[in-house]
Structure 1
Amino acid sequence: MSTEAVDWAMDKAPMPRTEKGKPDTTGRHVLQVLAEYANPAGANTHPSVLRIQFRTGYDRTTVQRALRRLEKAGLIRRDGSVDNRTRWQLAMEMVRPASDWADLEREENEYRTAAAERKRRSRSKGVTGAESVTVTDSKPVTVTGAESVTGDVTDSAPSRHALNAQPSRTQRRPNHQQPPVNQLHKDSSSPPAQQDAAAADEAKPASKPRADKNEHIDAFGAFWLNYPKKKAREEARKAWVAALGRGADPQHIVTAAASYARERANEDPKYTKYPATWLNKGCYDDEPDQPGRPHLRAVGDYQPWRNPEDHSSYYEEL
């Protein structure tokens, strides 16, 4: 092996090109194998095709094609044969131009610039600008009466009327007595008599809204404190919320939990239901168990009667 020939094949030799003008990496790999068997002058290298296949991993056809491309490019030339193997001479006088390194640096800089531009565009697409936000003027949205609704519907230019704009989930209505959207459209096109009736209906006091179940979450602490088996708190909390969603009274649940704790006071805890199971099955509506009769126990020095061995004891006076 010659370090001069290997150094030339790896760094100084011109890059062979394919017929399409792309770098011939396969041919360069084969050239490096030939350089490993050459002398310092690049001569007397004659590895077999089988040896090149073993070193590169290419098949026989690929190796033979690579040798023909290298010979056509002038990087190697035939110099006789040894044991029916072609002997090659490396063209170590051919040197790679310095512009190849400059071209690689330029391509690397262009790649980094393009990657930075793509990243900048990706970030800009993720941010929604102010122009893309739909803004509805407050004038057509504000509804003060039936006449203003009619005027807004007549003068509104957009195809989507402001009355159709639904409030977001987090936005609360300023007035719980405000009629729905379809009722506003109906009132705006109704006769004056119907408008007066609608106004009278709006003046009626609204029904008391149902209490939000989130207001009773704090009562879960009282339930947890009274329940006899404190296992799987998170599952129990979910079951508590579900029970309130079904309309259960939190005070009733807490009272039932305390009663259930008294029932299980002297019982085996492994038969006590988990709090989530107790809530999901609606056990808070079960009737409490009736207390059983007390067991009769013997007191004093009572001993059970046994059949005596002496039968004369049968005739003793009691």
Structure 2
Amino acid sequence: MSNEAVHWAMDRAPMLRTEKGKPDTTSRHVLQALAEHAHKDGSNAHPSVLRIQYRTGYDRRTVQRALRRLEDAKLISRDGMVQDRIKWQLAMSLTRPASDWEEIERAEEAEREATAARVRKHRQAKRVTDSASVTESDVTDSASVSNALELRYVTDSASVCNARSAALTTNQPSVQPPVTKNSSSPAAQTDAPAPSVAAISPTLAKGGPQQDHYLEAFGAFWLTYPKKKSREEAKKAWVAAIERGADPQHIVDAAQGYARERAGEDPKFTKHPATWLNKGCYDDEPDTLGKPQLRAVSGDGYRPFQLPKNVDYSKGF
């Protein structure tokens, strides 16, 4: 085997092309197999077709056609016979043009630019989609916009509750400043009356077109629900629930009932708002049963059950 011949076959020999203009990799592989059996000047290459089949993995007809294409391109020529095998001479004077490398570089650069353009287009489309999904639709006036924004804040202030009641009575949204979330007890929030959809979304309350105003009443639900997690996912679930035919006021009332059920419970077992909406929990029957509590009878009435003290349990009962 000659390193010079192998180097020529792998790097410097002209690349044949198929009818579609693609590199003829089959002929290239066969040429490399011939070079492994040639002298350093490219002469005396006489491997059998069977050897080339074993070396390349091609069938006999494929190898013969590749040898014919190489011979037609003047990259190899017949130089006699050796034991019933054709002896080939490699045309190592022929080299591939420098434009082949430049063509590959241009194709690589074009592919990088196309990939970058696809990434930019995808990111731009994602930004537009995200912006459209979280943007609340226009309300009837500027006061309604301010009210929808302010009602996102959780508060137990009596003055704010009075303002909500007035908005419910007059069917006109009122504007109140944001109040901090400091609350003396969980019951103070859960016992507050559920905000009316009419205070947030007069259009929905009056039965107007809902397609453009699904998110107007979302503030009332978010204010009421006992667990504030994944607001954007909750918005999508809210819109999906209304599109399925759920009434916004019914969802808000059910969320108020669920908040009362979860008062004083471990918050990690409270459903996320998106999960609660997607599963249609607003149609569940409220839990009217009290929480079970073990009690024992004593002489002075009922009291919570406690284990007896100073009892030796090793002796059994």
**TM-score, with structure 2 as normaliser:** 0.54
Identical columns (%) = 43
Task: Identify unmatched segments of 5+ residues in structure 1.
Answer: 174-179, 183-207, 221-233, 239-244, 269-291, 293-318
Letter in 2 for 1:21: G
Pick one of 167, 175, 189 that aligns with 2:217: 167
Looking at structure 2, the residues matched to 54 and 171 of structure 1 have their Cα atoms a distance apart, in angstroms, of 75
Pick one of 214, 225, 242 that aligns with 2:262: 214
Contact persistence 1:140–1:162 (CA under 8 A): no
1:36 is matched with which residue?
36
Q: Secondary structure at the match of 1:94?
A: coil
Contact persistence 2:224–2:259 (CA under 8 A): no
Contact persistence 2:137–2:213 (CA under 8 A): no
Looking at structure 2, the residues matched to 111 and 163 of structure 1 have their Cα atoms a distance apart, in angstroms, of 44
Q: How does 1:61-72 map to 2 (within 5 A)?
A: 61-72=61-72
Letter in 1 for 2:120: R
Q: Secondary structure at the match of 2:293?
A: helix
Tell me the matched-pair count. 211
The change in CA–CA distance for 1:21 and 1:78 in structure 2 (over 3 A counts) is same
Measured after TM superposition, the shift of residue 246 of structure 1 is 3.7
Task: Identify unmatched segments of 5+ residues in structure 2.
Answer: 145-166, 173-197, 226-246, 250-255, 271-285, 297-302
**Could you say what the CA RMSD is over the residues aligned between the two structures, in angstroms?**
4.3
Q: How does 1:68-83 map to 2 (within 5 A)?
A: 68-83=68-83
Q: Secondary structure at the match of 1:81?
A: strand
Looking at structure 2, the residues matched to 84 and 114 of structure 1 have their Cα atoms a distance apart, in angstroms, of 53
Contact persistence 1:141–1:163 (CA under 8 A): no
The change in CA–CA distance for 1:171 and 1:46 in structure 2 (over 3 A counts) is same
**TM-score, with structure 1 as normaliser:** 0.54
Q: How does 1:242-253 map to 2 (within 5 A)?
A: 246-250=287-291, 252-253=292-293
Looking at structure 1, the residues matched to 113 and 258 of structure 2 have their Cα atoms a distance apart, in angstroms, of 61
Measured after TM superposition, the shift of residue 117 of structure 1 is 1.2
The change in CA–CA distance for 1:32 and 1:181 in structure 2 (over 3 A counts) is closer
Measured after TM superposition, the shift of residue 249 of structure 1 is 3.2
Q: Secondary structure at the match of 1:215?
A: coil
| Structure with bigger gyration radius | 1
Letter in 2 for 1:249: G
| Superposed CA offset, 1:141-160 (max 9, x none) | 9688589x9xx98xx9x955
The change in CA–CA distance for 1:146 and 1:216 in structure 2 (over 3 A counts) is closer
2:244 is matched with which residue?
none
Measured after TM superposition, the shift of residue 137 of structure 1 is 2.4
| Superposed CA offset, 1:161-199 (max 9, x none) | 8887762231459xxxxxx889xxxxxxxxxxxxxxxxx
